[in-house]
């Protein structure tokens, strides 16, 4: 018995040790394929990525540059998250036809809605071009020269590498400059909105539930790709026809259990898994706390106003969501890094690394790397803090300062590029500002200004702080700006921006708001940024050598995967619950029952549509329920990050079982330090998606297009 338990423990340990990582689909053969098969995968690496036949990769486009989608019919129908389609759903919404609130469904193709600027990109081919990109680099001595040569090589090869006329080449670096990969891609720009549930399903739980498990959000929307008559990319035209994909996903409604194999294909944005301990310490102790403090202040002000006023709630919905999304992630990340002792673990890794360097006799090449990191991160600390505080306060949270910064850039453009560029930019600004003021509330911004300027004066490193902010009386400053600056209304700004360039610049420089931004921006751009860039260039060079050394001194079983960089990746794992805290265990599945438990009538986060309540009461789940329950979401050990939103979650046979849309709060540190114990990705169950399309929306026209793998009859 004891022996059996030991064996089991060993097995569990092994399985856990084999998870994490975002792998390059063209390089799965060997270690990854073996691991995936051990975890239960039934298909092969060649089925996932092949240049010779259609493969899973042909059904996974990058959606709008920031999310992922998957093709689910032979007529170019694609699925992604509700929060990925949000802007487009919003752009078609008016008070009379409020698709955000009520949802939208095209019951015929003619009803599908075109979207200006929306695009999806497919990967055609992936080639390693490291040698070509690094040609002639080793002989150069200065880091700046090396960077320039690499840039030139990339530009040259992107131009000359063979592709079809309607395709693009793009080259990205992996392993911090140790590997370069060329992607041949195809981008489609006629992508139409097909369906979206009401926000009370697609955004259910909103910011309160964001980054949190257990979760009950039906975070999906549907679009369709259109192509020209030759099935090639084309600008929007009513003559375009539904795109015929090389591959589309069959959908499995056979059901899932804990420990089932899953994989996620998609376009993860950024991770930094190979930072040294000193950098992680800086994030946890200095940078995250400063950013969190600024956003904390902004959110408190916004939330207070939004709770009191329905119109403000709508005006500030998107801004508030996006400020809160990163804020909540950073809090979870810091907590997780502390709880997992990430810094200690990194220090241990570094001690081992140093031993390996000595054992390999590589002290001359790699012996000083950790000391270099230590020195450079210590030196960059205040510059990095100033950079984050300036960015958060002036560019991200205080709207009037952000606007002032755009005008500051206008002045820079005049100084560097002259009259014509000035006029172009001015006209662009005036046009764009309508949207800005539509959602601008001076009372909120003034309060945010007061809070964030206070933090700026306190947190911006003393040696850089402009004298204006020493012993500043914030109330006086705020009154002066918000009563005297022309930046507070659209009408006044338009006046401020009219006339010839000389007049505009003179008037700008008399404006109190502009003057303040200029002090802050000049300080940042002249005192902070140049030195920051200089030190950062050294850090980049050290990181590249460190990564090279890690690769060189590691064994295959060390599983050194490249950081995310918005390129196509595969991650895999198992459906699994987790223990967030002492005495708490989370199960891996949620059900519609939980939606009803969370239901608060009329609430803007937790309201539930009547039709959904009726279906729940009648247990009318069609083919999609199990034992009179309707599955909603599930979690697994797949290693994902921002950009993986909308990614297909696949079973052992490569069938679609869900859509990735989030991670659990306790595990958001996985961008820096992945732990299979606690890092989980959150997916909406495909059965809930189909149930909403079919039973809730009655759009069986869409269901008919799909290929559904039905449960085995018992
Ligand atoms: N946390 C998810 C992501 O990073 C979902 C964000 C959208 N939802 C929200 N409530 N802001 O994108
Ligand atoms: N919601 C995120 C996105 O937009 C995915 C969640 C994550 O960061 O893992 O991509």
Give the residue-averaged pLDDT of 244-264. 97
CA dihedral sign of residues 369, 374, 378, 384: positive
> CB–CB of 580/586 below 8 Å?
yes
Confidence grade of residue 600 (pLDDT, cut at 50, 70, 90): very high
SS3 (DSSP) at 64: coil
Mean pLDDT value across the chain = 95
Residue 710 has pLDDT above 90, yes or no: no
CA 365 vs CA 137, 260, 357, 505, 570: distances in Å: 17, 45, 9, 53, 33
Determine the residue of 215, 327, 663 to mutate for testing ligand 2's pocket, defined as the one with the most ligand atoms within 8 A of the Cβ atom: 663
> What is residue 4's predicted lDDT score, i.e. its pLDDT?
52
> What is residue 714's predicted lDDT score, i.e. its pLDDT?
44
> What is residue 10's predicted lDDT score, i.e. its pLDDT?
47
Determine the residue of 68, 80, 83 to mutate for testing ligand 1's pocket, defined as the one with the most ligand atoms within 8 A of the Cβ atom: 83
Residue 258 has pLDDT above 90, yes or no: yes
CA 321 vs CA 267, 295, 421, 538, 559: distances in Å: 22, 12, 34, 36, 36
**CB burial class (10 A; 0-12, 13-18, 19+) of residue 395?**
middle
216 is an active site residue: no
> What is residue 712's predicted lDDT score, i.e. its pLDDT?
58
Confidence grade of residue 668 (pLDDT, cut at 50, 70, 90): very high
Confidence grade of residue 90 (pLDDT, cut at 50, 70, 90): confident
Confidence grade of residue 533 (pLDDT, cut at 50, 70, 90): very high
Task: Compute the distance from residue 645 Cα to the ligand 2 centre, in Å.
Answer: 5
Q: What share of the chain has pLDDT > 90, as a percent?
A: 91
Q: What is the pLDDT of residues 10-42, one digit of tens each?
A: 444 444 446 899 999 999 999 999 999 999 999
> What is residue 33's predicted lDDT score, i.e. its pLDDT?
96
Between 360 and 309, name the one with better pLDDT.
360
Residue 108 has pLDDT above 90, yes or no: yes
Residue 7 in tokens: 């064996």
Compute the C-alpha angle 362/365/369, nearest 5°.
Answer: 105
Residue 591 in tokens: 């059900």
Give the residue-averaged pLDDT of 485-502. 95
The ligand that comes nearest to the alpha carbon of residue 668 is 2
Placement of tokens 């999304």 in the chain: 325
Helix or strand (DSSP H, E) at 32: helix 31-39
Distance between CA 81 and CA 102 in Å, rounded?
Answer: 17
Q: What share of the chain has pLDDT > 70, as a percent?
A: 97
Residue 219: closest CA among 684, 563, 686, 641: 684
Distance between CA 45 and CA 29 in Å, rounded?
Answer: 6
Q: What is the pLDDT of residues 379-393, one digit of tens each?
A: 999 999 999 999 999
Counting every residue written for the chain, the total comes to 714
Kindly list the protein residues whose Cβ atom lies closer than 6 A to any atom of ligand 1. 83, 206-207, 210-211, 321, 325, 642, 645, 662
Confidence grade of residue 5 (pLDDT, cut at 50, 70, 90): low
> Residue 214: is the preceding peptide bond cis (ω within 30°)?
yes
Give the residue-averaged pLDDT of 280-296. 98
> What is residue 13's predicted lDDT score, i.e. its pLDDT?
46
Residue 176 gets the label, from left (phi > 0), alpha (psi -120 to 50) or beta, of: left
Query: Which residues fall within 8 angstroms of residue 12, CB to CB, at 6 or more apart?
Result: none
CA 349 vs CA 226, 352, 488, 713: distances in Å: 50, 5, 53, 52
Q: What is the pLDDT of residues 444-469, one digit of tens each?
A: 999 999 999 999 999 999 999 999 99
Compute the C-alpha angle 425/426/431, nearest 5°.
Answer: 100
Task: Compute the distance from residue 568 Cα to the ligand 2 centre, in Å.
Answer: 15
Beta-carbon-side half-sphere exposure of residue 75 (alpha carbons within 13 Å):
17
Distance between CA 356 and CA 383 in Å, rounded?
Answer: 33
> Closest residue (by CA) to atom 1 of ligand 2?
662
Beta-carbon-side half-sphere exposure of residue 615 (alpha carbons within 13 Å):
23
645 is an active site residue: yes
> CB–CB of 217/633 below 8 Å?
yes
Distance between CA 633 and CA 683 in Å, rounded?
Answer: 6
């Amino acid at each position: 018995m004891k022996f059996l338990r030991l064996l089991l423990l060993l097995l569990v340990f092994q399985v856990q040790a084999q998870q994490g990582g975002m792998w390059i689909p063209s390089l799965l053969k060997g270690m990854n394929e073996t691991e995936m098969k051990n975890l239960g995968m039934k298909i092969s690496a060649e089925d996932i990525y092949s240049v010779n036949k259609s493969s899973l990769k042909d059904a996974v486009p990058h959606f709008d540059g920031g999310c992922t989608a998957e093709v689910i019919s032979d007529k170019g129908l694609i699925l992604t998250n509700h929060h990925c389609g949000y802007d487009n759903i919003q752009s078609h919404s008016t008070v009379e036809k409020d698709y955000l609130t009520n949802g939208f469904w095209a019951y015929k193709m003619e009803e599908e809605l075109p979207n200006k600027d929306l695009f999806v990109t497919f990967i055609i081919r992936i080639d390693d071009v490291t040698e070509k990109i690094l040609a002639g680099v080793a002989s150069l001595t200065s880091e700046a020269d090396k960077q320039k040569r690499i840039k030139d090589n990339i530009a040259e090869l992107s131009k000359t590498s063979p592709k079809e006329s309607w395709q693009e080449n793009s080259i990205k670096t992996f392993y911090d400059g140790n590997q370069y990969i060329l992607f041949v891609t195809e981008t489609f720009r006629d992508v139409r909105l097909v369906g979206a549930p009401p926000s009370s399903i697609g955004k259910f739980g909103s910011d309160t539930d964001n980054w949190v498990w257990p979760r009950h959000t039906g975070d999906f929307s549907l679009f369709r790709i259109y192509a020209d008559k030759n099935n090639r990319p084309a600008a929007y035209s009513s003559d375009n026809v539904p795109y015929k994909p090389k591959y589309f996903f069959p959908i499995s409604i056979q059901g899932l259990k804990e420990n089932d194999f899953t994989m996620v294909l998609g376009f993860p944005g950024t991770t930094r898994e190979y930072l040294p301990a000193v950098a992680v310490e800086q994030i946890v102790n200095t940078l995250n706390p400063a950013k969190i403090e600024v956003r904390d202040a902004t959110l408190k002000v916004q939330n207070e106003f939004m709770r009191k006023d329905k119109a403000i709630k709508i005006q500030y919905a998107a801004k508030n969501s996006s400020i809160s999304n990163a804020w909540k992630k950073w809090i979870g990340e810091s907590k997780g890094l502390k709880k997992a002792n990430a810094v200690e673990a990194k220090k241990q890794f570094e001690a081992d690394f140093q031993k390996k360097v000595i054992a390999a006799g590589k002290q001359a090449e790699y012996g000083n790397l950790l000391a270099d990191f230590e020195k450079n991160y210590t030196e960059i600390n205040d510059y990095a803090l100033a950079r984050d505080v300036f960015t958060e306060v002036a560019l991200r949270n205080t709207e009037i300062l952000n606007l002032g910064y755009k005008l500051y850039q206008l002045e820079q453009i005049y100084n560097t590029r002259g009259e014509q560029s000035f006029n172009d930019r001015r006209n662009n600004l005036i046009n764009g500002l309508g949207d800005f003021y539509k959602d601008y509330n001076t009372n909120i911004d003034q309060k945010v200004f007061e809070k964030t300027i206070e933090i700026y004066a306190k947190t911006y490193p003393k040696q850089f702080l402009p004298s204006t902010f020493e012993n500043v009386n914030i109330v006086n400053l705020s009154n002066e700006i918000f009563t005297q600056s022309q930046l507070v209304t659209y009408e006044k700004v338009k006046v401020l921006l009219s006339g010839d360039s000389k007049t505009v610049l003179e008037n700008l420089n008399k404006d109190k708001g502009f003057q303040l931004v200029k002090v802050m921006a000049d300080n940042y751009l002249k005192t902070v940024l140049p030195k920051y860039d200089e030190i950062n260039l050294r850090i980049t060079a050290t990181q590249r050598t460190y990564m090279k050394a890690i690769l060189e001194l590691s064994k295959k079983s060390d599983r050194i995967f490249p950081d995310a960089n918005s390129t196509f990746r595969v991650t895999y794992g198992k459906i699994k619950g987790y223990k967030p805290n002492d005495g708490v265990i989370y199960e891996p599945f949620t059900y519609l029952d939980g939606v009803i438990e969370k239901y608060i009538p009329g609430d803007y986060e937790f309201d539930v549509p009547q039709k959904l309540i009726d279906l729940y009461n009648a247990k009318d789940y069609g083919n999609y329920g199990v034992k009179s329950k309707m599955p909603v979401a599930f979690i697994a050990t797949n290693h994902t990050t921002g950009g993986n939103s909308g990614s297909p979650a696949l079973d052992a046979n490569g069938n679609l079982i869900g859509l990735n849309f989030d991670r659990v709060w306790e595990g958001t540190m996985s961008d820096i330090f992945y732990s299979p114990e606690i890092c989980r990705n959150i997916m909406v169950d495909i059965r809930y998606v189909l149930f909403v399309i079919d039973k809730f929306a009655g759009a069986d026209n869409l269901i008919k297009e799909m290929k559904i793998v039905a449960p085995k009859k018992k």
